[in-house]
Structure 1
Amino acid sequence: MGSIVKEKQQTNVLLVTVASQGHVNPMLRLGNLLASKGLHVTLATHEHALNHCSNKVGPVHLEFFSDGLPQAYNRQADDDFDYYMNSLRTHGPVNLSTLIRSHSRKFSCIINTPFVPWVADVAAQLGLPCAMVWIQPSTLYQIYNCFYNHLNEFPTKNNPHMNVKLPGLPSMCTNELPSFVLPSNTFPTFDSILKEVFHNIHKIKWVLGNSCMELEKDVIKSINDDGGSFWPIGPIVPPSLFGKVDKIGGDLSGFDQFKSDKESDCLKWLDKQNPKSVIYISFGSIIYSSQKQIESIASGLKKTKRPFLWIVRLPQNQEKKGFEILEEIKEQGLVVKWSPQTAVLSHPSVGCFLSHCGWNSLVESVTAGVPVIACPQWSDQPTNAKLVTDVWGVGVKLNKDSDGSLCGEEVARCVEKIMSGPISVEIRKNAVELKNAVAVAVADGGSSDRNIEMFVNEISSFS
Structure 2
Amino acid sequence: MKKVELIFIPTPTISHLTSAIQLAHLLLSPHPFLSITIFIFKDPFPTRSPHQMQSLCSSSANDRLRFFTLPEQPIPGDAKKVTILKPLVEYQKQNVADAVANLIAAPDSPTLAGFVVDMFCIPMVDVAKQFSVPTFVFYTSSASFLSLLFHLQELYDHEFNHNMDQLLNSATEFAVPGFKNPIPRKVISTMFYDKETNEWAFDIARKFGEASGFLVNTFSELESGAINWFANQNLPPVYAVGPILNLKEKNPQIKRDEILKWLDEQPPSSVVLLCFGSMGMFNESQSKEIADALERSGVRFIWSIRQVPPESVLPEGFVGRTRGRGKVMGWAPQMEILEHPATGGFVSHCGWNSVLESLWSGVAVATWPMYAEQQLNAFQMAVELGVAVEVSLDYSMVGAGEEELRAEKIEAGIRKLMEGSEEIKKAVMVKSEESKKATMEDGSSFNDLNRFINHVFHNINTH
- TM-score normalised according to structure 1 size: 0.85
Match of 2:431 among 423, 427, 434: 434
Q: Which residue does 1:142 correspond to in 2? A: 147
Deviation of the 1:407 alpha carbon: 1.4
Amino acid at match of 2:205: F
Q: Which residue does 1:310 correspond to in 2? A: 303
> Residues 122 and 204 of structure 2 are in contact (CA less than 8 Å); yes or no, is this contact kept in structure 1?
yes
> Residues 299 and 325 of structure 1 are in contact (CA less than 8 Å); yes or no, is this contact kept in structure 2?
no
Q: Which residue does 2:447 correspond to in 1? A: 450
> Helix, strand or coil for the counterpart of 2:434?
helix
- 2:232 & 2:313 partners in 1: Cα distance? 56
- 2:324 & 2:256 partners in 1: Cα distance? 20
CA RMSD of aligned residues (A): 2.8
CA-to-aligned-CA distance 1:15-37 (integer Å, 9 cap, x gap): 10121123112111111111123
Match of 1:166 among 176, 192, 203: 176
Q: Which residue does 1:408 correspond to in 2? A: 407
> Residues 90 and 123 of structure 2 are in contact (CA less than 8 Å); yes or no, is this contact kept in structure 1?
no
> Residues 151 and 177 of structure 2 are in contact (CA less than 8 Å); yes or no, is this contact kept in structure 1?
no
Deviates more, 1:379-388 or 1:81-90: 81-90
Amino acid at match of 2:382: T
Deviation of the 1:398 alpha carbon: 0.8
Match of 1:175 among 180, 186, 190: 186
Q: Which residue does 1:57 correspond to in 2? A: 60
- 1:101 & 1:58 partners in 2: Cα distance? 21
Q: How does 1:301-450 map to 2 (within 5 A)?
A: 301-314=294-307, 320=312, 323-324=315-316, 326-327=318-319, 328-399=321-392, 403-420=402-419, 424-450=421-447
CA-to-aligned-CA distance 1:341-363 (integer Å, 9 cap, x gap): 11111111100000000101111
Deviates more, 1:401-410 or 1:287-296: 401-410
Q: Which residue does 2:47 correspond to in 1? A: none
- 1:365 & 1:321 partners in 2: Cα distance? 27
Q: Which residue does 1:236 correspond to in 2? A: 244
Deviation of the 1:179 alpha carbon: 3.3
Match of 1:110 among 112, 115, 137: 115
- 1:267 & 1:318 partners in 2: Cα distance? 19
Deviation of the 1:87 alpha carbon: 4.0
Cα 1:441–1:178 shift into 2, 3 Å: farther
Q: How does 1:73-84 map to 2 (within 5 A)?
A: 81=81, 84=84
Deviates more, 1:167-176 or 1:355-364: 167-176
Q: Which residue does 2:133 correspond to in 1? A: 128
- 2:172 & 2:327 partners in 1: Cα distance? 43
> Residues 10 and 39 of structure 2 are in contact (CA less than 8 Å); yes or no, is this contact kept in structure 1?
yes
> Residues 131 and 208 of structure 1 are in contact (CA less than 8 Å); yes or no, is this contact kept in structure 2?
yes
Deviates more, 1:81-90 or 1:93-102: 81-90
Amino acid at match of 2:442: G
Give the number of the structure with larger relative contact order, counting CA–CA contacts within 8 Å between residues 6 or more apart.
1
Deviation of the 1:175 alpha carbon: 2.4
Deviation of the 1:448 alpha carbon: 0.9
Deviation of the 1:317 alpha carbon: 9.7
Identity of aligned residues (%): 22
Count of residue pairs brought into register by the alignment: 429
Deviates more, 1:96-105 or 1:25-34: 96-105
- Gaps in structure 2 of 5+ consecutive residues: 44-49, 396-400
